């Protein structure tokens, strides 16, 4: 890939999120030499090659895990059967991710939240969970926990119309309504409130009575999820995860 510098410039100018993977060291026989690069935007969108085959698949998979992290690392890949190679050597690949990915703010650290964190753990979402219950926050993995009252967090946090996603799923309907009331006027890419159609019909009436503008009420997605799914935490999480990814990639 001879024009990689130009491609980096184009991606940066377009505010794209991507990862540059470079072979920095080889031991024994290897399909490509040191300095070979590949730029990865997604599983199906990349530029250049480091030799193809399973090795390239492994490198792309690692690059995808780093998307939106704005960090770098070096990983060794043995040229063995897993990499689809019989060379017997190995390659060291330097990964550098560019750009800051979307942030997902989940209000309420219950069962559905735990499932969402698990489902989205290897995506570009930087997940933050807001709750005052230590017993639930302590169960979290693959996310950043904030033991703080939701009102204070909403007030202190910096919100972005392109990178901020918020989902409300506390165990208290009144809390859900109050959080939605405060979040709706904020610049957000997505705002969802968990619940049934009946719950949302009631919420809309209450939000209107509380003085929330119609244009802000229309920002709220409820029920959440790309498709109607079951009621189990992971079923809801899979549907919601698909919707969040759809909003990020396909909605202006």
| pLDDT the model gives residue 51 | 78
Q: Do 124 and 91 fall into the same domain?
A: no
Assess whether 68 and 46 both reside in one domain: yes
DSSP three-state, residue 134: helix
Please give the residue range of the domain that contains residue 113.
103-250
CA–CA separation, 22 and 34 (whole Å): 8
Q: Each residue of 138-185: pLDDT tens digit?
A: 999 888 999 999 999 999 999 999 899 999 999 999 999 999 999 999
Domain end, chosen from 51, 75, 98, is at: 98
**For residue 242, what pLDDT is reported?**
96
148 and 90: one domain? no
216-219 own/partner pairs: CB under 8 Å, 24+ apart = 216/184, 216/185, 217/184, 219/184, 219/188, 219/191
Residues of the chain with pLDDT under 70: 1-2, 31, 81-88
What is the reported pLDDT for 240? 97
Q: Which residues contact 208 (CB under 8 A, 6 or more apart)?
A: 214, 217
- In this structure, the answer to whether residues 241 and 194 fall within a common structural domain is yes
Pair (147, 236) in one structural domain: yes
Among 217, 111, 229, smallest CA distance to 171 is for 111
Structure-token pair, residue 56: 């390239």
| pLDDT tens profile 103-123 | 999 999 999 999 999 999 888
CATH number for position 197: 3.40.50.720
CB contact at 8 A, 38 and 61: no
pLDDT of residue 207: 96
Q: Which of 66, 98, 130 is the last residue of a domain?
A: 98
Total-model pTM: 0.69
pLDDT of residue 86: 60
Q: Is 111 found in the same domain as 78?
A: no
Same domain, 75 and 187: no
């Amino acid at each position: 890939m001879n024009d990689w510098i130009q491609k980096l410039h184009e991606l940066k100018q377009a505010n794209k999120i991507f990862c540059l993977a470079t072979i920095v060291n080889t031991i024994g026989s290897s399909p490509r030499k040191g300095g070979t690069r590949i730029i990865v935007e997604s599983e199906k969108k990349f530029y250049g090659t480091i030799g193809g085959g399973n090795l390239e698949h492994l490198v792309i998979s690692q690059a995808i895990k780093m998307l939106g992290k704005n960090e770098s690392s070096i990983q060794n890949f043995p040229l063995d059967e897993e990499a689809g190679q019989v060379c017997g050597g190995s390659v060291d690949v330097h990964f550098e991710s560019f750009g800051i990915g979307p942030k997902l703010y989940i209000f309420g650290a219950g069962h559905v939240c735990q499932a969402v964190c698990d489902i989205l753990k290897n995506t570009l979402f930087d997940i933050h969970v807001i709750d005052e219950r230590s017993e639930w926050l302590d169960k979290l993995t693959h996310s950043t926990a904030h033991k703080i009252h939701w009102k204070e967090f909403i007030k202190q946090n910096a919100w972005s119309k392109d990178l901020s996603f918020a989902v409300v799923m506390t165990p208290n309907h009144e809390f859900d309504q109050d959080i939605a009331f405060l979040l709706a006027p904020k610049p957000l890419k997505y705002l969802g409130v968990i619940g049934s159609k009946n719950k949302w019909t009631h919420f809309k009436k209450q939000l209107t009575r509380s003085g929330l503008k119609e244009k802000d009420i229309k920002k709220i997605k409820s029920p959440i999820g790309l498709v109607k799914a079951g009621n189990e935490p992971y079923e809801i999480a899979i549907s919601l995860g698909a919707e969040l990814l759809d909003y990020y990639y396909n909605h202006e």
